[in-house]
A and B are shown apart, each in its own frame.
Chain A
Amino acid sequence: MNESVRMIVVLAVIAMVSGGVLSFVYDWTGAIIAENQLRQMESSVFEVLPGAVRVEPLGTAPSTLVQDDPETSREVEQTTTQIFVGFDAQDKALGYAFVGEGPGYGGAVRILVGVDGESGEILNLAVLNHAETPGLGSKIEEASFRNQFKGKTLDDPIAIGRDIDGISGATVSSRAVAEAVRRGFADAAAAYERSR
């Protein structure tokens, strides 16, 4: 009996200390991790919206930026997880960038698309993260593939085999990118129009 009590007490104490330490470290690092992700997202937005010097997420104040969380977006079947508006040096809205997600070969492919606010043309596209096969599917990161999306508007089909050439040997990955663009484009454009 005494032995069992001791076993339970020791295990419980170790587990409690472990939980305490972890929640402390989690609190401490949580803010830094969030900050890092934010910085990274910002620099990606600058990349797809040339000329922008300031970024603001659509509909929320800068201080309450929503975290980029693929889990929650998938549950509610959103077409785009986040929309950002880019401003130039004169604080004039240049255009917007949206995060799109398509089903790839090793998991979801997440991309960021920058769109010109005036013409509605895609300015640039960046791959945020993917788990595609190195050497095959990972070629979606290459400029020669991404550049095909430049200049496309909502009126274009944006589909592999129609106006976009897929990467040979990586059809699923190429399709995932095109689908990610298509899924989010209309909603993001509508949201941007409403905001102005």
Chain B
Amino acid sequence: MGALIKDFLNGIWNDNPTFRLQIGLCPVLAVTSTALNGVGMGLATTFVLMCSSILISILRNVIPEKVRIPCYIIVIATFSTVVDLVMHAMLPDLHRVLGIFIPLIVVNCILMGRAEAYASKKPVIYAAFDGLGMGIGFTWALTLIGAVREMLGAGSLFGVQLVSDTAATFGVFSLPPGAFITVGLLIAGMNMISTRLRKAS
């Protein structure tokens, strides 16, 4: 049980895919102009990550070594297309904003990385918790970046206006350059916190 929790928490902080491992960065930058988009993208990725981790773990003794990469690709591509279609049907507005980055979940390095390094070697329950932890780690990172950019760029949070309509905001934070700068500063912040924690313990 302890190992399960450790796996789960690992993805959330120590091996956080965005801030620590720094993989799967394209959606991190592209869809985080608002906090809500960050949540949506994070949850979509979490779903694909958990489902494919579970399935790959179940099939780990069936899939021959030599064709494992194509097999993983098909599994992941199938789940991302399912998410793409379901989201198009159920949440058309969010789907329009996230656009091309939903099918691009398939090339998110987090998914292939976890499939290859973890799910293909561990029992189902561990793979599921690892996928969930990584997914939540990814989601909170995206939400945080989205929240910062939305507050600075549009003066609102989750669509709720925080400052008056006419107040000047830093529009650049809604645009591509702001994404890079926000992520850079947040990574620096995470490094500082981690160093402090290590010193304290």
Contacts and interface: CB of A to CB of B under 8 A. Distances in A.
Direct contact between A and B judged by beta carbons closer than 8 A: yes
B71 A32 contact: no
B175 A14 contact: no
Given A25-B86, A29-B85, A36-B92, A6 B78 contact: no
Interface string A1-38: 00100110011001100100110011001001100110
A10 B72 CA distance: 12
Given A26-B85, A29-B86, A29-B89, A10 B64 contact: yes
Interface residues of A, number: 21
A62 interface: no
Contact of B175 (A22, A36, A37, A135): A135
A40 B67 CA distance: 44
B188 interface: no
Interface string B30-69: 0000000000000000000000000000010011101100
B2 interface: no
Contacts of A36: 89, 92
A134 interface: yes
Majority SS at the chain A contact face: helix
A7 B64 contact: yes
A37 B171 CA distance: 31
Contact of A33 (B63, B70, B89, B171): B89
21 contacts: A7-B66, A7-B67, A10-B63, A10-B64, A11-B70, A14-B59, A18-B78, A21-B78, A22-B78, A25-B81, A25-B82, A25-B85, A25-B86, A29-B88, A32-B90, A33-B88, A36-B92, A129-B96, A134-B174, A134-B175, A135-B171
Contact of B92 (A14, A25, A40): A40
Interface of A: 3, 6-7, 10-11, 14-15, 18, 21-22, 25-26, 29, 32-33, 36-37, 40, 129, 134-135
Nearest to B85: A29
B74 interface: yes
B75 interface: yes
Given A11-B71, A25-B85, A6 B174 contact: no
A67 B112 CA distance: 37
